[in-house]
Structure 1
Amino acid sequence: MVLRRIRNMVVATVNDNLDKMENPLVMINQYLRDMEEELSKARHAVAQQEAIKADFERRLTYSQKMKKKRYDQAQIAVNSGEEDLARKALMEMKQHEEKVLQYEEIYEQSVAQLVELKEQLGKLEERIQALRDKRHTLVARANVVKAKEHMNASINRIDSNSSYREFQRLEARIMDMETKANVYTAYNFDGEQTAFTKLEHEEDVEKELQKLKEVQKA
């Protein structure tokens, strides 16, 4: 008996812990928190990619500007008969030209990557918003279930509670007392009726006796 009681207590404790672990609302909230963290990371990644794109855009613009500048300087040097200076300007122009090609490719890649990241971010935001909306519905349904479980447990607790049985016993006792009180009242009422009837009879007897006396005198 003792071992069975201990076993039941252990099983009840384990089941209670499992219920807490598998609480749908707790799991939903945790899942949403995880998704919010992922959303924050995704937004940070998009912000970083925007910064990278902007940086390569500045580099590209600068290289394009320097390429043109060195070409113009080379032309001026040639017109002035400064061939060495023109060669130097053209050499730097070629270097900037290579950078332009390099930065154009990288910039285009960064733009494509940014577009892709923003699309993924938009999908993630839509999904999380749908989960938020779904959460309200699930919370409402879970609250209804919880309320029903609580009421059922309360009803079962009341039905099995000794105080409720004692209440029923007292109710039966009161009904018994009411029955006895009604019987006593009826008895008293009948007794009073009998006394009144006796008085009426005595009056009738006296009247009849008086009549007899009058007949005898006559």
Structure 2
Amino acid sequence: MTGIFAKIKRTVEAELFDIVEKKEQKNPIAMLNQYLREAQKETEKAMKLLERQQLLKKEFEREWQDAVRMQDKRLKQATLAAEAGEKQLEEFAVREAEIYKERAARLQHSVSIADEQIIKLERQTEEMKHKLKDMNVRRLELMGRENAARAHYSMSKVLDEGSGNNHPFGRFEELEQYIDELEGKASKKYETTLMDARLAELERQFYQQEKNTHQA
């Protein structure tokens, strides 16, 4: 029984810490999620084994109490048989009492061993729970680091002014330059149109004045 828990403990410690330490740079979140699922299964298995051991201890205790009760019963019967002069019954009761005595002693020893095993298994199970909790905390820490790294990377692509023509700010500058050129062209065209209009008006006034002079 203890060998099973020792194996589980080694599996949790070795696989969840040593292997993850070596490979966490590849895909830390995915790997930790996988190992956490495995660790959760192993922890649940360990808890079931602990419950089973506790049930076995209760069985030992019941058998022990039954053996003690039967030993006392046979001893009393042996006394009654002796008082009644029933030698054969007395010998049978004494022999039975001895058998129950040996059984009770063996069962008492089994109860003591079961107690020690349960204490050890409870401690190991708690250690596994703490390991699992530590791994979950570590997963959250790595998720935070990954999220921050992604955010920094995304923002750096926007804020990095030296990233070339594809940079958003670079495109804004190009657009601004293009608009300036359009505004310049429009302004020149407007000035040309305005001058043409003034010249045309001046010509009209000149011809009108000349016409009026001839009519006079």
- Normalised to the residue count of structure 2, the TM-score between the two structures is 0.70
Alignment counterpart, residue 185 of structure 1, candidates 190, 195, 207: 190
Q: 1:154 to 1:34 in 2, by over 3 A?
A: farther
Task: Please tell me whether residue 111 in structure 1 is matched to residue 151 in structure 2.
Answer: no
Deviation track 1:125-145 (CA, whole Å, cap 9, x = no partner) reads 123223323423322321222
Task: Please tell me whether residue 81 in structure 1 is matched to residue 85 in structure 2.
Answer: yes
Q: 1:165 to 1:137 in 2, by over 3 A?
A: closer
- Structure ranking higher in helix proportion: 1
Distance 2:112 2:152 in 1: 60
Q: 1:107 to 1:87 in 2, by over 3 A?
A: same
Q: 1:20 to 1:88 in 2, by over 3 A?
A: closer
Aligned residue number for residue 142 of structure 1: 146
Deviation track 1:48-93 (CA, whole Å, cap 9, x = no partner) reads 2112211111111111011001001101111111011111100110
Task: Please tell me whether residue 58 in structure 1 is matched to residue 62 in structure 2.
Answer: yes
Q: Which moved more, 1:123-132 or 1:196-205?
A: 196-205
Higher-Rg structure is 1
Distance 1:154 1:54 in 2: 68
Q: CA deviation at 1:151?
A: 5.3
Aligned residue number for residue 5 of structure 1: none
Aligned residue number for residue 127 of structure 1: 131
**Identity across matched positions, percent:** 25
- Tell me the SS of whatever aligns to 1:103: helix
Q: CA deviation at 1:194?
A: 4.8
- Tell me the SS of whatever aligns to 2:71: helix
Q: Which moved more, 1:89-98 or 1:31-40?
A: 31-40
Q: Which moved more, 1:173-182 or 1:37-46?
A: 173-182
Can you give the 5+ residue segments of structure 2 that lack an aligned partner in the other structure? 1-22
Deviation track 1:129-181 (CA, whole Å, cap 9, x = no partner) reads 2332342332232122234335556889x9565xx999977765554333222
Aligned residue number for residue 36 of structure 2: 32
Q: 1:131 to 1:67 in 2, by over 3 A?
A: same
Q: Which moved more, 1:126-135 or 1:85-94?
A: 126-135
Distance 1:33 1:179 in 2: 67
Indicate if the aligned counterparts of 2:77 and 2:93 stay in contact, CA closer than 8 A.
yes
Aligned residue number for residue 16 of structure 1: none
Distance 1:99 1:65 in 2: 11
Note the 1:190-209 alignment, pairs <5 A. Answer: 190-194=195-199
Q: CA deviation at 1:21?
A: 8.6
Can you give the 5+ residue segments of structure 1 that lack an aligned partner in the other structure? 1-18, 210-218
Note the 1:18-29 alignment, pairs <5 A. Answer: 22-29=26-33
Aligned residue number for residue 13 of structure 1: none
- How large is the RMSD of aligned CA atoms in angstroms? 3.6
Task: Please tell me whether residue 72 in structure 1 is matched to residue 80 in structure 2.
Answer: no
Distance 1:187 1:202 in 2: 22
Aligned residue number for residue 214 of structure 1: none
